[in-house]
Structure 1
Amino acid sequence: MKTLKKFGILLFSTLLLASCATDKKKAIATIEARSGSDVSGTVTFIEKDGVVTMKAELSGLSEGNHAIHIHEIADCSAPDGKSAGGHWNPTDKNHGKWMQEPFHVGDIGNLVVGKDGTGTIERETNLWAVGGKDVNKNIVGHAIIIHEGPDDFSSQPSGAAGPRIGCGAIIRK
């Protein structure tokens, strides 16, 4: 009986440690319309083993490219989305194209939207974290902004993407 009890404890401990090793952290931004648009959707961030995967699924957009960025403040209260502040740029780099130096960690790129008004974009990086103490990586407490136009990847500091038509605070789940 003692052997069976020890085996049970060992099995439980092993399973517990294994589940911690593959533990996922998750954050979501629910996108709400701003500046008179019809934009809606979600941007989901899942961190596993130090890598964050982001997936944005949006609707209510005009066909074409729309810039998507992480902004400084998780405040979408302003009708034009400006309460979210500027681009999140904790490393003080120039604005640019995703993963092409120079760029700041809030630069996500352009969401390609079809005739049906929907679009998705995915990114994967170890430059972000869902929570944690590293202010250069932690995306929680910032906002996702969807812009009316495309990011030109060169205009400073924001890519000349036009009005903010969607906003969502990034909240840990």
Structure 2
Amino acid sequence: MIIGYARVSSVGQDHTTQIERLHAAGAEKVFQEKQSGLDRDRPELARALEFAREGDVLIITKLDRLARSAAHLHEIVELLDRKGVGFKVLDDASLDTTTRTGKLVFGILASIAEFETALRKERQMEGIARAKAEGRTGGRPKTVDEDQIRALKVDGMSVPEIVKTTGISRAAVYRALQQQE
């Protein structure tokens, strides 16, 4: 069975053209949704992946309708492959896991995605090490002068007065005062 998946990012968009193209390509069942591709929790995609059985083929019109990163794409295609389900992209004939060449292309894409992830992690670790060497730790720089808050409290100011004087939230004032204890 050929299964189609169509997605648009927002409610104002229309996926009629995608659905028509999927049906024209032989899709017998089409799952469709209006949801951001950045959202990994897409119920209709999950239903399509669950519905697919060995020997089926999942088709989409464009790659960005399915995944927003090479790693996410690889994850989906790996799941389909484990189930014995093929995958095709109508706008890119080279992305077709039902052929030897298509499987090769996906293998290359997967290797590139893995390489990119490793590079990104390496750069991140270098940045963290550099920051630690410079005495910086994670998180935002402090914007609250805790010593000033404590001094105002010692001078007899109430918390509401400190909040009004400094413009700092009640929670931040209480946090500063707790750290003194």
State whether TM-score is above 0.5: no
Higher helix share: 2
TM-score when normalising by structure 2: 0.21
Q: Which has the larger radius of gyration?
A: 2
Higher strand share: 1
TM-score when normalising by structure 1: 0.21
The structure, 1 or 2, with the larger RCO (C-alpha pairs under 8 Å, 6+ apart) is 1
